[in-house]
Structure 1
Amino acid sequence: MNWKRTYPWVGLLLGAVIAGSGCSNTTDHGAVSSTSPSASSPDDSSTVKPAAERVLKDALGHEVKIPSNPQRIVASYLEDHLVALGVKPVAQWSVGNGKSVQSYLQKELYGIPTIPSDLPFESVMSFAPDLILIDSAEQVAGDKYAQYAKIAPTFTVGNGVNNDWRQEFMTVAEVLNKSEEAKKVLENYDVKVKEAKEKLKQAIGNKSVAVLWVTEKTVYVPNEHLSSGDVLYRDLGLTVPEEIKEISETAKANWNPITMEKLAQMNIDYLFIVNSKGATKEQILKDPVWAGIPAVKNEHVFEYDRTSSWLYTGAIANRQMIDNVLESILKEKNK
């Protein structure tokens, strides 16, 4: 199998074999707080014309009639974007019969029923959606698009497998007629990035940083340009270990396996571990393969579990990652 996109749930299901109304009014993730339409009243406001239905061309060239005010949106694996815009979907992405969800979004998605990640037609129909947003072209290969389009207007957001999250976010916002709100979310994100970048530069200078996803049988590193790699190296400007640079030159997935030999040679000064192994950090690091890594020698290793946002991407996921990096490294420096 040629798994191009790496979903974080694959390790849970395949023994760690990889393949990729409103919300809370809190502002810690820079999201737009939700609003509910007021009931009609006999004053002048009742004469305001409702938003018109729009026709937008999706990533595959389909001209899609977008409802003026969709209320029942299915947008599997795009929930980060919706929540950041103050929108709740009618169903949320899941795997394993609903056992695994995007845990980092559950405060905002509490009570939202789950839908299987492969979007079976019957499951989609059961939610009676008035708009379906598809993450990537891969999800509607063959005649799938036509089948979804029979259920509700269907808009494919990206034509690639790993789409640029900012572009993807702005596309979702355009479809939902929330482009101005999206611009504010990105502006707030950029401010957070700038402040964090300055703090980290002062704290650790050019020291190298990496995140490794440790599963039962395999260790994965992020693509330098995707997912958490994009946050660490492009946004925060942290130094990329040479091994990750090398792997990223040819890798297309968000997360890519690294051999134990290369792992043992990695020159990482600060290490974040996303632990899906079912063992403690101490048990993992007892393996001699880790002994030569500078971060392990100097006890600069920080652990997060699979419920964190490190395996995802989007404005909310990335903000949480940045908070994790700041909290861990600055706390370590202030000891």
Structure 2
Amino acid sequence: MADASADVTLRISGLKVSVGSSRVVDGVNIDIGKGEIVALVGESGSGKSLTALSAMGLLSGRVVQSGGDILLNGERIDPLDEQEMSRLRGTRISMIFQEPIASLNPLLSVGEQVAESLFVHGRAGRREAWSQAVQMLADVGIPEPEKRARQFAWELSGGMCQRVMIASALIAEPDLLIADEPTTALDVTVQAQILDLMRRLRDKTGTSILFITHDMGVVASIADRVCVMYGGRVVEQAEVHQLFQAPKHPYTKLLLTTIPKISDTPKAELYSIKGTVPDINAFPKGCRFRTRCPLADDVCLLPPELEAATGAQGGLVACWHSDMTETLQ
């Protein structure tokens, strides 16, 4: 976690999220320092998006926060009602969703949607909000921003819509930006441009970023620190370079093994982790990765605690056999 004495933008402490009687996020702790980019990684079904939606106060229906605290700049926000949370969204905390074209209103111009945060929250009048929206579109690299501002989402490419979403999320300079798979389905060139854009805007505004992804290659490109989730729990936390050089949890090591390498022979079979993430109603006893882990034995029937990793400065791991992870191929 971020140093306790440092300024912390977001603190998630002991978060539990339940769907009916099933606990799908179980005791998650994450700190994000001011201006820090923390990647939250893991396969689909690990609980990443539910963790993010909890921070935004966007859980609904049978999905509820059943425990833990969420603090933004030291103030608890999880007890706030919908009206109070709506005042925070777009101003102090913003989110980029996975599918921008599905998140943008097809009946409003993109300029109106980018300007909305400023106007609705009383930060600017309509004319000033529009002017700032056009400038923000230019800041995120959209050509001819005045023309594009008058267009609709369905007239733009996927990469352009993603830039519009980023502009909308950042126009009010929030303290925290949550980016949920923001580069999914984008080609590698546009993906690289989006990642560079987010880094530059972070440097310019000081916004903290929680970056959710399952792509370890993207993690290496943007993150300062990484939290690895599996089965609704954080299994490892470390600085990005430390995690890539010496992963301590078997799941992390196997995730990294899935990344194609330049040295791979042509047409070589891509590695994949055996098995699948367990159903939320069938998590195994003890370590939730036990049924897929090559190192698992009887001690893994007991749930491991997230503790300081041996030989890793500031790193945390929840594994009984973290000292053996380097033996995995």
TM-score range, shorter chain: 0.3 to 0.5
Q: Tell me the TM-score normalized by structure 1.
A: 0.33
Name the structure with the higher strand share.
2
Q: Tell me the TM-score normalized by structure 2.
A: 0.34
